[in-house]
Each structure stands twice: as structure tokens, then as C-alpha cells.
Structure 1
Amino acid sequence: MLLLLWARWSEPSVRLGQTLEQLAVAAGGAWTLALADVDAAPRIPQAFGAQNVPMVIAMWNQQPVSAFDGAKEPAEIAAWIENVAAQVGIALGDGAAVEPEQPEDPRMLAAEELLNAGDAAAALAAYEAIATADGPQSEAASAVRNITFMLRAQAHEPTVLETAAADDVDGQLAAADVLLLGQRPEQAFDRIIDLIRITDGDERTRARTRLLELFDLFDPAEPFVVSARRKLATALY
């Protein structure tokens, strides 16, 4: 599957979407195309660490395997798709690239409908109920973490970036949320790591706990997460 992160205000996004739709039809079902509007679903680009639109992400077995951003010519995209297929060991020509369809969980569909309708609080409650049943490693638990962060971050005033004192735990944690919501994870993590360096006791524990929670919003292999974990180790010891 190819996932296109796009925005209605971005002409390159719209054109790329049209190109991908044409290529998907020409592929005859060898791969599928999904679109995510970054304005309607901001947690999706955050999850992939996307900094720009348009961005195309190749997914295989529900994991990202390759990506590119910006506009490309149809021939370039077709060659990229062929290369991705070769990386995962499939042949597009024989239909082997079609991923087996998984039955959709009606509980997840209902929760997603609430989120798409703009009722984040109700969606959060629905995902929490599913996560309780399915466990902390489930897709629902991941959705809970993302929505919880989104609701908290959206409640902060952006001015906290300038007004929070260096040793103001609440202020700096709020500032980190604002930065992360603005897709600046490195700066968000650095804010909390700086706070950890100058605090101790319960305040330091609070800051460290929040940082670990933010790490969980991303793939642990993301370079900025790996770098921040190293900085955290240095700050603690």
C-alpha cells in the first residue's frame, strides 16, 4: 500500500494524488493507495515524522519500508514502486504484491468514525475501552496515546514557548507539547531534557516520565528518538 500525506491547499499534493490514482489503476490491483489529509488528521504525519507535504510512504505488512516527499514525474514514481517491491521481495507483475485483506474490527471502525466526525473525546473513550480489552501493545492503545497527546497539546497557548521560565516544569512540558504538535520533535525533546538537567526529585521524575510518553508516539528507530534517548541518558547520569 502507498500512503499519501497531502493537504487541500497544496497544489503539488493534489497533482501527486491524481498521478498516484492513475498509476494505481494501471497497476491493476497490485498495490493500493490511501490518502491522509494532514489538516484533518494531524496525528498521522506526526506518527511518521513528516515535515512536508506531499509525502508518499510505502507500507508493507503495516510497516513503512520507504518514502519520498515532493513532486515526482510518473516514470520516477513507477521506478520507485518497482524498487520498493524488489526490496520486500515481491513481483508486481504476478499479483504477489497484493496484501491479504484483514477483516476490519467494527470496534475500531466505530472509534475512527467518531474521530473523523470531530468528537475526539468520545473517540478517546472508545479507544480506551478497546485498549483495556486488547492490551497496551494494541493499535487501540496507540490511538489512545496519540489522541491524549493531541487533546492536551491543543489546550496550550502557543505563547508558552516564550513565557515559560527554564525551571517551570508545567510551562516547559506545555511548551514541548506545542513544539511536538508543530512537528518539531527534536526541539520538543530538547526542552524536556534541559528541564531534567536542572531539576531533581519529583519534578525530575515528572519530566522524565513525560519524555518517555512522548517517545512512545514514534517509531523507536526514528533518528530523532534515538538521539534524544542518548541525550536523556547523559542528562540523568
Structure 2
Amino acid sequence: MIELGGQTNTAPQAGEHISEGSDQTFMQDVVEASQKVPVIVDFWATWCGPCKQLGPALEAAVQKQNGKVKLVKIDVDQNQQVAGQLRVQSIPTVYAFFQGQPVDGFQGALPPSQIDEFVQKLAEMGGGAEGGEEEDGLAQAVEAAEQMLSEGAASDAAETFAAILQEDDKNAAAYGGLVRAYLALGQVNEAEAVLNGAPADLHGSPEIEAAAAAIQLARQAENAGPVADLRAKVEANPDDHQARYDLATALQASGETEAAVAELLELFRRDREWNDQAAKTQLFTIFDSLKPTDPIVLNGRRKLSSMIFA
């Protein structure tokens, strides 16, 4: 459950690089804006003590970058939808978005020196560091490989991702892409080997976490039962929670992710505490395996949040 809390009641420093956001403007202010420069999202509330320490330091660090990074401040008391979708469980929580995806973040107040390092790293990610042309080339290669994967050319995508890692062995996007390519080829063991071979300092990155979640779902799929049989069991007894959970697993295994999410949401609605909140845990595993902006993720998190806060 989200602990609602936040920052001082003082308005953000004036300037085009710092603004107040909301559930309604999140896509425009954060996701779309991060296509050009990294965007930091500061989740806060007026009564949160640590937020009063973090806010001014974060604003000052962003102002130093002169537009290389932007800051959007969201009061979670007034905007619970986005906070729920991003699984904000305590505040202050800070997320950084770049090119439409979360790329970094932290919880709690940090000393100014660490905040400066955090913001500086994001500024460099957005093009402030030397060697930008080479990085742009690798980013284009990753995009091309992702396109191959989306078009069903998993083998070609795997080769491209592997080649990228030869050039940059710390490219989290390439590791995540290679894992998904192997999974698309049905090679779960190979995908797991790639994940285990990723550098330790990449663990915790969105791409690696998504890859780990995808492998977990693939392992579950190996033991999934027939969809038709499980659906018949659920229809015969809607309160058979294990059958509904197994049906969701089977649907996910067959590529029907949206239907799997719907069954898990229904299970959560019927008994959110069943099997140590298994439905909620499985929902988060599916959400983590997809891009944060995927409609299945956005709709699923919104529905889950509405149940939690009902």
C-alpha cells in the first residue's frame, strides 16, 4: 500500500525545467518529454519531512544542468493513479525517465552530493557526455534489433543484440533484448544464462528486471495446463481460486497476456489475500516483464489501484 507523503508545500522553483505534474498530464510532461531529455519525477506530499530536504536539493541540481534534465513534481495525495502504476510504496520516491521508459530512481532523501551525481548521470545519458555519436549508433542498433524482434525475426534480433554487447558489455537494453529474443525462440536456458552473465552493476536496471520477470513467466509456462480445461473448471466453480490462477498462467503462456491480467484482477477482486496475495504478485511479475507504457500495464495498474484504494 502506498504511504502517501511528500514534500514541502512551497511551489517549485520557477523555470521551464521544473514543473508540477498530475495524473492527467503525466504522459505529456514525462513520457513524451523524455523522448528529448531525461525527466526526473519527484513523488512527494505536503506533510512528508524527508521530502522537505530532498526537494530543494533536487531542484537545485536540475537547475545546474540548464535544460539537459527536467524535473516534474507530483503530489501523491492529489495524484494516486500514476503513483499506483509505478508501485510507489513510500515517499519521497524519485524516478528518472528517458525515451519513454524509467531508467533509474531511488527512495528516501539523499545528501546533495549524491543527488548531484544522480542528476549529472542523467544529463550525460541525454547527450551531455563525450562519445555521444558512438552511443547514438548503439542506440540505433538496439532499436533496429527491437524492430526485428517485433516482426518475428528473433534469430536476427539475437545476433544483433549479441553484436551490440561485443561493443558495449554494459548495455542493459541489449542484455534485456537478447533475453527476450532467446525466449521468443523457446530457448529459456540460454535466456537465463544471458541474464546470469549480465554485470552485477546492471542488476536493478529496468531492462534487467524486465528480463528476469519474463524468464520467470517462461518457467511458469513450462508447467501450464490446457486453457480450455482450466477455463471449464473456472466456469464450473468461479470461486476455485487455484483454477483461476492456473488459467491466468496458461493464458500468459499462450501469449494472451491481456486475458491473463483480467483473470488475475478478478481473482484479486474475489480474494486479495488468497495464497499470500498471489494474484497481486503475479500481476506485478507480468507488469515488470512489459514496457511501462504498454497499454496492458497502464490499464492493469489502474484497475488494480482502483481496487486497492476502493
TM-score (norm. length: structure 2): 0.39
TM-score (norm. length: structure 1): 0.49
